[in-house]
Amino acid sequence: MKTNEASVTSLMTAFGRAYHTLYDTPKIFEDTIVKDLITDDEFSDISRNLINGVSFINKEIAAKFQHQPEEILKWFTQIQLAPTTLSRSAFCESVLLNELALGVEQYVILGAGFDTFGFRHPEVNETLEIYEIDHPATQQFKKDRLAQANYQIPNNLYFISMDFTKGFDIQKLIDQGFSLNKKTFFSLLGVSYYLTKEEIATLLSELFSFVPYGSSIVMDYGDATLFEETGVYNRVQNMIQMAAFNGEPMKSCFTYKGLEKMLEDSGLLLYEHLTPATINERFFQNRSDYLSAFETIHFIHAVKKE
């Protein structure tokens, strides 16, 4: 990602969530706010670019639906853009809401992008402090969109600009009221692929050196087949190529044992692990559309152990 440019990946992820909320049934993850952060022109431009670009990733689909642009858009979004962002968001927020009942008081969203949790859950305003952390350009882009859409920032939501690939600055959170003594929940969604293994390991070690036992994290990651698996309609390969084209190349993948060891080294216990098959069973069962779990992508919930 270039220094002064907002993340293209963040915008495309937001589009996937918005499209799903507007057009798909049943809902895997409903985000009623995110569409307001994408302008009508952007939504139309992205839709048109996806329709026009389908021939580059699947000539058969382009030919089959050449007179059905809306079906092409549905196919592209449901096959390529939406599956992972919908299911990981649904998983993360289900874990978070359970952790709230177990005493979590702080939520740190790493690589927040266009996350809208703080706006969709006003019921936690008095019980949960939310800290959104992202690259300065992406975060400013989001803040500008919130202002344009006339959204008031909840009093429990704090924006912290940080490039955490260069080191995690805990003081920036403390300056906004973050407590080192409160049980904390972290999310790291759609980020691990773009960091090296060393950067991820360092980040986890830094995060969990600050917070008490019982604090935890949800993250997604690519398994050891990430750079080999093509996926249905070559979608895994397409994902990697599109990320590189947008200046955000994917860098890391893990074996299960490698991931487990990295978590252990950071004092974390792997509490829950969702494979692609498990994700498909939990979130995509009995659908009649194109949506299905992405190959090679796993979700985990890890907890700081005593």
In a domain, 28, yes or no: no
| pLDDT number for residue 7 | 66
- pLDDT tens-digit map of 154-175: 999 999 999 887 889 999 999 9
- Is the per-residue pLDDT at 143 higher than 90? yes
Q: What is the dihedral of CA 57, 37, 191, 118, to 10 degrees?
A: -150
Helices and strands per DSSP (H, E), number in the chain: 12, 7
In a domain, 49, yes or no: no
Average pLDDT over residues 178-188: 98
- Is the per-residue pLDDT at 8 higher than 90? no
In a domain, 34, yes or no: no
| pLDDT number for residue 208 | 96
Average pLDDT over residues 197-211: 95
In a domain, 26, yes or no: no
In a domain, 11, yes or no: no
With cut-offs at 50, 70 and 90, classify the pLDDT of residue 4: very low
What's the chain's average pLDDT?
95
In a domain, 279, yes or no: yes
For residue 131, the cross-strand partners are 108, 158
**Residues above pLDDT 90, as percent of the chain:** 90
Average pLDDT over residues 56-82: 97
Boundaries of domain holding 239: 83-304
In a domain, 209, yes or no: yes
| pLDDT number for residue 10 | 84
- Is the per-residue pLDDT at 299 higher than 80? yes
| pLDDT number for residue 167 | 82
Written as one letter, the residue type at 32 is: T
pTM of the model: 0.95
| pLDDT number for residue 298 | 98
Number of domains in the chain: 1
In a domain, 33, yes or no: no
Q: What is the dihedral of CA 108, 142, 151, 14, to 10 degrees?
A: -80
CATH number, residue 234: 3.40.50.150
- pLDDT tens-digit map of 84-122: 999 999 999 999 999 999 999 999 999 999 999 999 999
Q: Which two tokens stand for residue 186?
A: 């972290």
Pairing of strands 184-188, 106-110: parallel
| pLDDT number for residue 6 | 60
- Is the per-residue pLDDT at 68 higher than 90? yes
